[in-house]
Amino acid sequence: MLTYVLRDAVMIVLTVSLAVALWFTDRWLALERRRKDLVAERRESELKNLKSQLNPHFLFNTLNSIYALIEVSPDEARDAVHRLSQLLRYVLYEDRDKVALNREVDFVRNYILLMELRLGSDRVETDIDIAGHEDMMIAPLLFIVPVENAFKHGNTADRNDKISISVKADGDKVVCRTVNRFRADTVVDRGGGIGIANLRRRLHLIYGDRASLSTVVSDDTYTATLTIQLTTDDGND
């Protein structure tokens, strides 16, 4: 009888232990799912916050450019307003996680054309080659940060100084490079300022170690190079 009692007691203990273990496992899995959900929500919230910081800054600089044209050339100012409406349409209605590369490049082209109205087309050198990669998916509003910085901090007062902008796609890699000169008496932030810091944070959140942004100051020249390595996880074949 003692053997039966011990056997039943052991079975009860094992059953209770298994039930407790299953409960703790289920509880741990639920907490882990919640933790991952919170991380995803925090990541999404931070990305939205970074984009909200980008857009007003971008619009402020663009409106300043249009304002400078109103007195000088009303016709060009009207053209600039039209181009701005195209830029706003992209910002407002392409607010998605990923867009086609050609859409992002068209956005950059419109911005460059808008800046050329103020500076002159002979002041800007562009080299854009995404042939065969037009449908590649990419996070929106990444290229505009270094491009905008090149116009904002470039030595636009000297007509001999040009701004160089290139966007090239090769295989699963996209590279955006901007080069601009600045006045010798200008204090240059080697870190790139708030816009560049926000861009680096966005790249880290979206692409991790598959994206990089380097800024180099050499003599009176500032170069920014944005490189993104895309994979099938980004919606590409």
Percent over 70 (pLDDT), the chain = 76
Work out how many domains the chain is built from and give that number: 1
Position 8 in a domain: no
201 to 121, 145, 204, 207, 213: CA distances (angstroms): 33, 12, 5, 10, 10
The token pair at 140 is 């929106």
Q: What is the pLDDT of residues 137-173, one digit of tens each?
A: 998 888 988 998 888 877 777 777 889 999 999 888 9
104 contact partners, CB below 8 Å, separation of at least 6? 138, 140, 141, 142, 143
Higher pLDDT, 88 or 176: 176
User: What integer pLDDT is reported at residue 175 of this predicted model?
Assistant: 96
Position 226 in a domain: yes
User: What integer pLDDT is reported at residue 72 of this predicted model?
Assistant: 78
135 to 15, 150, 173, 211: CA distances (angstroms): 57, 27, 13, 19
65 to 25, 48, 197: CA distances (angstroms): 60, 26, 24
Residue 120 pLDDT greater than 80, yes or no: no
**Amino acid at site 121:** S
**Helices in the chain by DSSP H: which ranges?**
2-72, 74-93, 101-119, 144-153, 193-207
b or e along 121-134 (b: 16 or more beta carbons within 10 Å of the residue's beta carbon)?
A: eebbebebebeebe
Position 59 in a domain: yes
What region, left, alpha or beta, does residue 16 occupy, with left being phi > 0 and alpha being psi -120 to 50 degrees? alpha
Position 1 in a domain: no
Position 36 in a domain: no
Q: Predicted confidence band at 46 (pLDDT cuts at 50, 70, 90)? A: low
User: Is the CB of residue 127 less than 8 Å from the CB of residue 187?
Assistant: no
Q: Predicted confidence band at 183 (pLDDT cuts at 50, 70, 90)? A: low
Higher pLDDT, 84 or 104: 104
* Chain-centroid distance, C-alpha 172: 17
User: What integer pLDDT is reported at residue 14 of this predicted model?
Assistant: 75
What whole-number distance in Å separates Cα of residue 133 and Cα of residue 131?
A: 5
Q: What is the pLDDT of residues 217-230, one digit of tens each?
A: 887 888 999 999 98
Higher pLDDT, 16 or 37: 16
Mean pLDDT of the chain: 79
What whole-number distance in Å separates Cα of residue 215 and Cα of residue 196?
A: 9
What whole-number distance in Å separates Cα of residue 57 and Cα of residue 51?
A: 10
User: Is the CB of residue 40 less than 8 Å from the CB of residue 77?
Assistant: no
- Domain range holding 117? 41-234
Position 230 in a domain: yes
Q: What is the pLDDT of residues 49-89, one digit of tens each?
A: 555 555 566 677 678 778 877 877 788 888 888 888 887 77
For the chain, state the CA radius of gyration.
26
Position 33 in a domain: no
CA neighbor of 104 nearest in space, from 233, 228, 237: 228
Higher pLDDT, 112 or 32: 112
Higher pLDDT, 131 or 64: 131
Higher pLDDT, 74 or 177: 177
What whole-number distance in Å separates Cα of residue 92 and Cα of residue 105?
A: 16
Statement: the pTM of the whole predicted model exceeds 0.85: no
Position 12 in a domain: no
Residue 95 pLDDT greater than 80, yes or no: no
Kindly report the CATH number assigned to the domain that includes residue 110. Answer: 3.30.565.10
Between helix 74-93 and helix 2-72 the angle, nearest 10°, is: 170
